Amino acid sequence: MFNRSKPKPHRIDTLIGAGTRIIGDVQFAGGFHVDGHVKGNVDAPADSGATLSVSDSGVVEGSVAVPNVILNGTVKGDILAHERVELGATARVTGNVYYALIEMEMGAEITGKLIHEPRRNGKAEPEIKPAPGDATADSAG
């Protein structure tokens, strides 16, 4: 349907193997791939461009706050993807998914809410407030 030949490869700096179980929070930069089990929160700086990928056999029990997420396995916790989320056909999420861009294959399951949070290009969008004492349309008489 989307005419994609191959997914683009992503860099992997850290690999958690299928027989490995991590208990505790993980903070990383670059690429982090999980074939095993992580029981703890997974975090990367919002502006780092980092990517978390979780294979079919991979499990994360905890919240995820990472710019890019490629999920084929299971996340039991909220996902905050500052840039992009890709959910494969075998992806399972128990929690809310906060995303700027999302791509889902048929078969992906989310037990929670999908919440769109627009990208801000690394900057907070300014909120325009009238200065105290400024006239507004409501007060014009």
Read off the pLDDT of residues 62-97 as tens digits, 9 standing for 90 and up: 999 999 999 999 999 999 999 999 999 999 999 999
DSSP state of 82: E
Which residues touch 105 (CB under 8 Å, ≥6 apart)? 87, 88, 89, 91
Radius of gyration of the chain (CA): 19
What pLDDT is attached to residue 11?
A: 85
**Is the pLDDT assigned to residue 16 strictly greater than 80?**
yes
Average of pLDDT values for 4-21?
79
Q: What share of the chain is helix, strand, coil (3-state, %, to 5)?
A: 0, 45, 55
Average of pLDDT values for 18-42?
97
Q: Among 2-16, 58-72, 78-92, 114-128, which stretch is predicted with the lowest mean pLDDT?
A: 114-128
What pLDDT is attached to residue 129?
A: 45
In the beta sheet, which residues pair with residue 93? 75, 110
**Is the pLDDT assigned to residue 139 strictly greater than 80?**
no
Q: Where are the domains of the chain?
A: 14-117
What pLDDT is attached to residue 138?
A: 47
pTM of the complete model beyond 0.85: no
| Positions of E strands within 7-137 | 14-16, 21-23, 26-27, 31-34, 37-39, 42-43, 51-54, 59-61, 64-71, 74-76, 79-87, 92-94, 97-104, 109-111, 114-116
First to last CA, the chain: 58
**Is the pLDDT assigned to residue 140 strictly greater than 60?**
no
